[in-house]
Every structure is written in C-alpha cells, then in structure tokens.
Structure 1
C-alpha cells in the first residue's frame, strides 16, 4: 500500500525510507502501462524534502518533532523580487504587472506562517484597475512587506498531533461614546479548567495620538477593537509566547480582519498585519471567534475600567496598560524583530 495524492496531472508519494523508493518506482511503472507516464523533467527522487504544487515541504522533523514545514519554491520568490527590483528601477508599476505581482503574492502567502502576507497588499490590488504608472508610498510599503517576508522566511508549520502547550481564553472589547475618547480592556484566563488556572484583567489607556495615525472619521470603533488585541500581545509577550488560545471579539469588522488576515480599510489592514506579525514572532496560535456583546466578559471593564463589578466578582485582577505609538510606523521586518525580542 502506497499513499499517493493526485492533483490533476501532478502527484506526490509518501513512503517510508525503508521502502527505498519501491513505491515510487511501482507508481511510475503503473502510469507508463496506462499510457500516461510522468514527465521525466519534473520527477523528483524519494527524499525528506520535496516540491509539490509550488510548495516545498520538509519531513525531517515529522517523526521526532511531529511537525511538517512548508515554504514557497525558490522560483516564485525570485519572480517577486525581480518584479520589485524592475519596478523600482523604472519608477513605475503598470496595471498588467500589478496583476501578475498580486497573483504571485496571493500564492506566496499560502506557504507562509499563519496569515502573514495577506495584509499590506491593497495598493497593488488597486493598481490592477488604475491607469496610473508611478510608484506611490503605499506601493513602496507593499514592496517592503513582500521583501520582509522573503528575508524572514516565516515558514508554515503543520503539527501532526496536538502540541503539549499551555492554553488561554481571552475576551476583549472597546467603546467609543465620544470621538477621540475611546476606552477599552480585555480579560484573560490562563490554563482554563486546570488546577493552576489564573485570571487577569487589563484596562487599556488609549493615547489620543493614536487617532492621528488613523484615517479621518468620527467612528474608529473597529480600529479600537483590534488595538486591544495588539496591546495585549505587546504588554505581556512572555505570557503568550508559545501558547495556543481562543480570542473573543464582538465587532464583526475587526473579527473579519483577523480571520481573513487583511482588510479593505487601511487602518484595519495595518492592524491585522501587525497582529499577525506579532503572533509569528511569539509563536502563538490564536483562534478568533465572535461573541455577542451582551455575552462579552470584557464589556464592563472596557467601559467602567476598575469600577466594573463583574470582573472583580469573577476573580480577575486589574492592571493598566497602553499602546506605544512608535510601533505603528515600523516596517514589517522591524516589527517582527521587536516582537521576537520583547
């Protein structure tokens, strides 16, 4: 019995090293008998490393560490960097080239850790339908995002078993009753339902300068909702590092930005990029889920701060934290390095 996966006319074979390639040889002979042999130029010998459908996989640690890593084939990375180099040299990005680059970037993020690489591409996506040619600051930022991903190599990792890590549950919320005077907070449960479970609550002080970083408008509630997630990762990185958990948010726009890894809105797109970069650097896996506002634990602390009775009655501590504005304009590669060393 040989495990074979087909995708149209492409195939990948998983076999034990002890078989010494006999499974692969048998499949090749079978396809030849059927009159549809595999192309010689595309065949790969049995190895712990392989390239299938544009993704390079590594099985070296499949048995010892129970995980498989993936990365995008070298040719695609080279194509992306060549596009960027030529566009900079010509100081132009035509719609046709933008379409090709956007297509490459969409495939590129399939081999990247989490959802890094989905955000930050709006300027390239929009250029597909634009008659402009010159490079803009937004397009240059998109180039920097792609270059950072190639250099940092945030490989996608698939765990074959449930990782023996500690878990957490978080609920966050924000309120904006008066323009530019938002409030927010979040509640954490560490090692839920375990003997060493402990609970912590945070009141987030939102600096007024943060509103100057965002697009003009009265309503910034979705931005504030995502800001709570970013503040939590920045304030207590060691608590989250290497863990897995569930995060509840009651704002649909903010939630979808995290689920999709990007947003059409510039502010939410930037926040999604920063949060997913932090998650990669901290090696934390978070499943984001919607919760009804009335069922959101953190609704009270986000509005009433330390005066919220619910979080006190349920034995959550109360601490203060804020958002360092200097992080907002850092390029992606610098962000990843900062989070890695926090």
Structure 2
C-alpha cells in the first residue's frame, strides 16, 4: 500500500527542489511478529554531481531507504508513506511500468554482493548488454560493443576477451567493477552504491572508490553511498547522513560531521574505529548495548537506552520525547549545543586523537 502524508517535523531541508528529494519517508513491513518500522520519518536532498554518504549500523534503514527509492519492495507486505521525488517526478505512487522504465536507465544500483547479484548462468557481457538493449532499443551488436566499452571504462583488462567470461571467472574486485559497468551502461543520473567495497581488500576498496569518483565526473551522476564505515566516505562523499533505528540522527557536510560530530551515536561510531595516534595495544571502544528492535522501537530518542549522556539532559526527556532534526547542519539530540561542544572537547576529542 502506498500513500502520501505531509511532512510532520523539521527534518526536511529547505531551498529549491533538489534532483532527489525525500520527505518524511516511512517504510513498514508486515511480519508474523508485527509491523517492522524500518524507516521512520526520513528526509534528505541530493543534488546532481554530488555524493551523499549514508552511514549507520546494520538494521538502521540505509538499504531499505534506497530499495524504496528504486521501488523494489513487495507492495503486498510493505506500507510506504511520504514523498520521493526524482527530478520532480513522484516515485511513491508510480506504477511498476513507470519504475521499470526508470530503473537501470535514470537510476541504478550497485548491489552489496556482486557474486550473488550477477547471474551465474549468463556471461558478464550479456548481463551488461541486456539493460542497454531494453532501455535504448539497441541491436545485439551495438549492445555488445557498449558492454565492451563499459568494461574498459571500469578498468577490466582486455575487455574484448573478458566480455564472454562468466562471473565465477572474475575476481571479487573485477566482479564489483562489472557491477558498476552494468549500473552505468545507460548513463543513469542517480547511482546508489550499497556497500560497494564490502569483502574487498583495502587496496581494491580504494580503487573502487576512486573509480566511482572518476565515473561521477564523467557522467555527472548523483551518488548515494551506503556504508557502515565512516572511513569509506571520508574522502568520497560531499555530505553525510547518519542513520539510527530508521531515523536520521545527524546531517551535515562530511568535513563538518567528521571534524566536529554532534550526536552521541556518531561519537560512538568514530570512537569504535582505531586511531593512528592511539597506542597499538589500546582496546577499541564499542558502543554499549545492542540496536533496538524495529518492531517496538524506544519511545523518545531511539538511542537513549545506549547513550551515556542522558543524565546531562535531566528528567525523562530522552526517554519520552523524540528529538527532531533541524534544517541544515544538525543533530537530533536533546543535549544543548553548549553541552555537546563541552562533551566533545573534554571527552570525545581526546579519544579520537
């Protein structure tokens, strides 16, 4: 079921309409155990030629959000409310035929695991050529030539020979490059990369991220980069959205968020990463507790059961009142700005080194 509702809080950025505009998005799944609130009031904008990093733990709603943009959920078990506009076109009430014309053409996705996303029964070249033929009406020869061209663009050596190979004949990094080639074959204006460097060697990760930046400059695509690793987005994204329990808890430019994080959850993510200035024997600081159940998320701030700073707020405000995400550079936290700055300078910054 797909319906639209008016934005209920201050999470929506303002200004002229962006290329991709998401407003008060809510996604709920019907299960035997109850209703899963996978995304709960999410709003963000993305401009052409820019990269938005979305970070958070597993289950925070990152992938669900982007699968919703592509219209890949089962309509029988999914309830979607809010608004998703791509270049002014509303997607939440679009028909499947309309979405199929957009998928792979105007918007595309690089899936997390290329080995399972690619079919083992067809050659790499055929899988890249198929969406090109569907959306452009090209001949088999034209589509094959385009597949060879794209394999060359993503750095596959000897693409004329490798175009007839099967996925199992490619290494992990090469399969990921082939997935990128498939996603970009129709020059999409929106590219969603879901954990594109998962299970790859560090050197290959860097190559894939550099490749995305180079191809973005060539094609002018807007990119959403989904990851749980803040290090991945540090030199890749322009803006950063931190998600927790289906909500955005912090938003800003990558430089602003990484240099001066303002939400306790972001502090925890950064603190759980090794620092170059820390002692090699110093243990990492994991975030205490576990992510909340999205069947019955906490009332108020969803992070408050794991937050060590609720005492600074006073009363039961963190447990009873949901903090809103203001416009622009913001964090959804009941701590006053002066309190957050003091905690960061005195406690968090020394930990980060």
Query: Which structure is larger by alpha-carbon Rg, 1 or 2?
Result: 1
TM-score interval, normalised by the smaller of the two chains: under 0.3
Q: Which has the higher helix share?
A: 1
TM-score (norm 2): 0.26
